[in-house]
A and B are shown apart, each in its own frame.
Chain A
Amino acid sequence: MIYQVSHTTTYNYEHGVSFCHNIATLKPKEVAGQTLLDYHLDITPIPEEISEKIDFFGNTVTRFSIQKQHSKLKVIASSKILKEVSTVSSIYNNPAAQQITLQQALLELKSNSTEILHVKQFCLESVLVANITSNIKAYAEVSFQPNRSIFEAAFELMQRIYTDFEFNAEVTNVATPIHDVMKLKKGVCQDFAQIAIACVRSVGLPARYVSGYIETLPPPGKEKLIGTDASHAWFSMFIPYFGWVDFDPTNNQIPSNQHIIISHGRDYYDVPPLKGVIYSTGKNKMKVAVDIRPVI
């Protein structure tokens, strides 16, 4: 499956901006089952400085700065992605990995192998998933039990979040603490992913945040409108002897070809698509449009 993605972010500045520094995390990651065929970033006005680097989590980040007065910033990330999840070993074809229990997993996490030493940091608190409370842990423990398979448990956790939480774009924003989301039982994909991450970490397992896109299909018989797709987020849990397995609690499914991965982090804080510091006095308005189309 090949997708053409365009992700457009527009800022209109009330009083104009004399200059700005920005960081974009918009370049889809090269991972098993996902190949980036083409990518370019169009920024207007044209930045005076631009550079690319790989961050701590292996994501590509682009830094740029615009040093002249402007009243509008437009960033278009266009990517062409080949998705072939069938080529990657699936947890479904690995009965042994599916059966690893919480107890076994925690024991394995005590090992000093390079991989384990690396993934262990995803067990720790992170900026937006901190001070995990006992009610989050209790919520997790309904699914995660010492002798139960962690894959099964995570799958069930995903289902429970899907059922117990209402998708509602009006009640939360990027800064809403997970504890509020837990109380409201409402939010968006990013909140659900972070709730799941908090749950998985509360029982001592590594969990990370995945930022990406999902292809949405138009209602039957209607043509898809441009820009109706959105940035998406889900979570990933590390299963010893197997590796990271993704779960999408917003759509209650294990991500496959419709899910395009941009970046990995401990939570949203590590991988915001676009952030920056502007030198200005006024307010600004932001607009985001994402469009994903299969390429024949």
Chain B
Amino acid sequence: MPMHSNILFQNYFSDFKNYDEVLKSDLSINPNWEKLLKNLTQYGNQILIEKQNEINWLLEENGVTYNVYNDPKGMHRSWRLNIVPFLIHQNEWATIERGITQRSELLNLVLKDVYGKRELVSSGIVPPEVIYGHRGFLRQCDQIQYNTSKHLLIYSADLARGPDGRMWVVNDRTQAPSGMGYALENRYSLSRMMPDLFKDINVKQPTQFFDEFNQMLIDSAPNNVTNPNIVILTPGPLNETYFDHAYMASFLGYPLVTGNDLVVRNGKVWMKTLKALKQVDVIIKRVDDAFMDPLELREDSYLGVAGLLEVVRNNQVVIVNPIGAGVLENSGLIPFMNGICNYFFNEDLILPQIASWWCGQERERNYVLNNMREFVIKNIDRSNREYLHFCEFLDDLSLNNLRAEILLNPYKFVAQEKISFSTAPDFFNGTLEPRKVMCRTFAIANKHSYNVMPGGLVRVAAERENLFVSNQRGGISKDFWIISDEFQNSIQSYSWNNNNKISLSNVNDLPSNTAENLYWSGRYLGRALTTARYLRMVLNRMNNEQYNNQNSESRSLVYLYKSVTNITSTFPGFVGKNSEKTLQDPLKEILSLLLDENRIGSFAQTLSSFNHAYYSLRNLWSRDMWRVFDSIKKLWNKFKENETHSISELSKLLDRIITRLIAFMGLIEESILVSQGLLLYFIGLQTEQAMMHIAKLRALLVFNYSEQLQYEILESFLTSHESLNIYRYSYRSYLSVENVIRLVMLDTEYAKSLHYQFKRIQKDIRKLPQSETNSGNNYYSLHISESIKIIENLDITNLLELNNTKTLRQNLDDVLSELSNLLHKSSITLSDTYFNHAYQQKQLVNQNFPLA
């Protein structure tokens, strides 16, 4: 193929230094890549640029994120997928597959030995320090007997092509390997966006692999349970690969839980659900080993479950992978791996590794120290970049510090040869560029051996010259194709794009943490919408006043400003001390209520709290919801960048946000089943709306105003409540306090009346599961019934009665205050009953050990 003339390849040759996946040493094209390059070329450069943009957009819209800790842009950074896949022919893959299987089997035996007889140590194959000095070696897991077919149930290897043209093992991942979800999403997005890329190419699909994965989970359940309860344990939405956890949870159809959703009792692990405790048989672990049991392991951990290890010891639960498997993520083992392979299998490793020297041995140490610049030096038990030292780039001082560190604890260090791995084409700024790549592969235990996923996740170095490939710095990924000469089914034939597949069949089984997040999602959304509408109304009034009367200050506006502070509980604000000053520049205060994320009660803060609850539940949301939510975020972020904000801009922004919030709320109702917890969302939403409603009534209708002022206030109230038209329709009369109260408090049919809202809460609360433990203290329901009784017995004349000084409607205020109290009480008792705050685990003695 005349690649030289292809614009895509224009710069590929100019700075081609390394060896490449596509170009052979004589600069001819590797035939395996020909069809792909042809398909790419046929798209044409301009289309490819568009496709890349579309994919970026699609992934962002779908909320595919990778969180980076300590990064200002960090949370929910978009995942990036390059349109050019990486590929390997089946013939070569067969060898790699054998190599991965061999290494899985080998590491399985190492794991068994390390926590068992430790023959590798006693027979001198592995130095004791490599095991005993590795922080992943958990003495608490010593001698645990497992009943699963293998100890190591999931294994993940990072591979890269070495100078000899073979794929080398760069890292072993055994603790909580991530990336399967990303790999799936990559394949799905690419097939959807660029079907023609697959033309005439037979790409193996991972469908069967995931079936086998599922089967492995079922088979590993203890006591031969036929229909085991399987959960995915995540550290939570702040974790860098939370997307991966949530994606796998919804793909496999297993609940996504955090440590506080689980509890150990009577020698078993239970999931706290709304109804009762439900026994858990298998836990897919995405929390690091040391954090899994605050009783026996790290006591500062809030991510695990106290007492879990003992349940594991008694074979009443299976953890995938077992706690303690982190000892295999050990670069100290690398120099001894071939010896281990010969010890167990009497054969050599199939997949080569990077030449490594363990500094615990004197001869090796001296060699390393005498040639430090030649090496990449690693800590045996830390794989983060901070612990990787590329010695050729270190200055003398850092090199000497490192040398001193090595001499102090030589057994902690391993030196590896500098290796330049192969590059593959990456689509960048309209052309192809060679970039270093690293392939993450996955293997799953079966009854006899291991199954390897055909393909995996390919990550690309962030910059052209970069040596190091890592997601931590926000890298790019690629779809990983294993191509075959035989026909393969296409990916679409398997319907895995199923966001709502959830095995929980009814609301009783809803994990209480999910329930709580749904409840709060409702509360925050209710608050966000009411706040936004109220602020919009005030802004519009400001705009009108400015237009009508430039100089004199409107009295009704002052009342509205004060009500804003009362309704949002953002004191002192427009009331209390220094309010005179605040009132001189009301826009400043309103801006703060809109935009200040650190101010409790502000719109920005409500939205960001909702954000948090929302991400915790991401496995429940549909793609449409992501899209709408994303558009709110974008609108918001763009607006925040503006330096000045005029009143009309602000009100326009609120218009757009309110529209989207309403669309979003509509989607929630159609995307989540009541049994998935929609009930809790409704209760939260109604509760918050009722609370805000009461606050508004108290702020605006209690005071007795002069006629003109009264009119303006009532009109504002109805506008913010979106009830003006209904009022006109129902009463066809001049605005009166009496009629307004009748409509928004007492009406039994109108969805925005307080009476109706309480009725609605009551109806939903009655559907909540009752269990032995919570039937006795069903106060939340009693509080609501009491409220409804109060409302039903209200007498309008009594409510309208003025106090002695004729300044306010004392009876109205008293009633509203009582209703508000009852609602708060009901909300607290509901939380206590269903969300298990009493079950927060904590240490008996807070020891605060300085743990590394």
Contact = CB atoms under 8 A, between A and B. Distances in A.
A277 B295 contact: yes
A56 B849 contact: no
A23 B140 CA distance: 12
Contacts, number: 104
Interface string B230-269: 0000000000000000000000000000000000111100
B121 interface: yes
A279 B842 CA distance: 6
Contacts of B843: 275-278
B842 A124 contact: no
B122 A114 contact: yes
Contacts of B837: 281
A275 B841 CA distance: 13
Interface string B840-852: 1111110111111
A110 to B, nearest CB: 9
Per DSSP, are chain A's interface residues mostly helix, strand or loop, or mixed?
A: mixed
Contacts of A124: 129, 132-133, 411
Nearest to A132: B408
B128 A120 contact: yes
Interface string B310-332: 10000000000000000000000
Contacts of B539: none
B321 to A, nearest CB: 20
Interface string B294-312: 1110010000001100100
Contact of A125 (B294, B310, B409, B840): B409
Nearest to A21: B307
A172 interface: no
Interface in B799-850: 837-845, 847-850
A128 B849 contact: yes
B139 A277 contact: no
Contacts of B847: 174-175, 272, 275
B142 interface: yes
B840 A19 contact: no
Contacts of B129: 120-121, 124
Contact of B133 (A51, A125, A279): A125
A4 to B, nearest CB: 27
Interface in B111-127: 121-122, 124
A67 interface: yes
A232 to B, nearest CB: 18
Contacts of A276: 295, 843-845
A121 B839 contact: no
Given A23-B296, A56-B139, A125-B133, A274 B839 contact: no
B133 A281 contact: no
A280 B849 contact: no
Interface string A151-188: 00000000000000000000000110100000000000
Interface string B487-504: 000000000000000000
Contacts of B140: 55-56
B838 A281 contact: yes
B850 A177 contact: yes
A175 B844 contact: no
A121 B266 contact: no
Interface string B386-415: 000000000000000000000011010000
B840 A281 contact: yes
A177 B848 CA distance: 10
B849 A175 contact: yes
B841 A279 contact: yes
B677 to A, nearest CB: 24
A274 B844 contact: yes
Interface string A252-290: 000000000000000001101011111111001010000
A11 interface: yes
A120 B121 CA distance: 12
B839 A18 contact: yes
Contacts of B840: 279, 281
A270 B139 CA distance: 10
A274 B295 CA distance: 11
A67 to B, nearest CB: 6
Interface string B696-728: 000000000000000000000000000000000
Interface in A1-45: 11, 18-23
Interface residues of A, number: 44
Given A20-B844, A132-B408, A286-B845, A277 B306 contact: yes
Given A21-B264, A117-B121, A120-B128, A277 B841 contact: yes
Contacts of A112: 124
A32 B142 CA distance: 25
A63 B266 CA distance: 13
A295 B132 CA distance: 42
B265 to A, nearest CB: 6
A127 B294 CA distance: 15
A296 B129 CA distance: 48
Contacts of B839: 18, 279
A49 interface: yes
Nearest to A124: B133
A63 B310 contact: yes
Nearest to B843: A277
Interface in B426-476: none
Nearest to B296: A23
A22 B849 CA distance: 18
A96 interface: no
A202 B847 CA distance: 26
A142 interface: no
Given A23-B296, A48-B266, A130 B852 contact: yes
B845 A275 contact: yes
B265 A67 contact: yes
A247 to B, nearest CB: 23
A280 B842 contact: yes
Contacts of B411: 124
Contact of B849 (A51, A127, A281): A127
A236 interface: no
Interface in A105-137: 112, 114, 117-118, 120-121, 124-125, 127-128, 130, 132
B55 to A, nearest CB: 46
B139 A55 contact: yes
A65 interface: yes
Interface of A: 11, 18-23, 48-49, 51, 55-57, 63, 65, 67, 112, 114, 117-118, 120-121, 124-125, 127-128, 130, 132, 174-175, 177, 269-270, 272, 274-281, 284, 286
Interface of B: 121-122, 124, 128-129, 132-133, 139-140, 142, 264-267, 294-296, 299, 306-307, 310, 408-409, 411, 837-845, 847-852
Given A22-B844, A49-B267, 15 more contacts: A22-B295, A23-B296, A65-B265, A120-B132, A124-B132, A272-B845, A275-B843, A275-B845, A277-B299, A277-B841, A277-B842, A277-B844, A278-B843, A279-B840, A286-B845
16 contacts: A11-B844, A19-B265, A23-B296, A49-B267, A55-B139, A57-B139, A63-B307, A112-B124, A117-B122, A121-B133, A127-B849, A128-B849, A130-B852, A275-B847, A277-B294, A279-B842
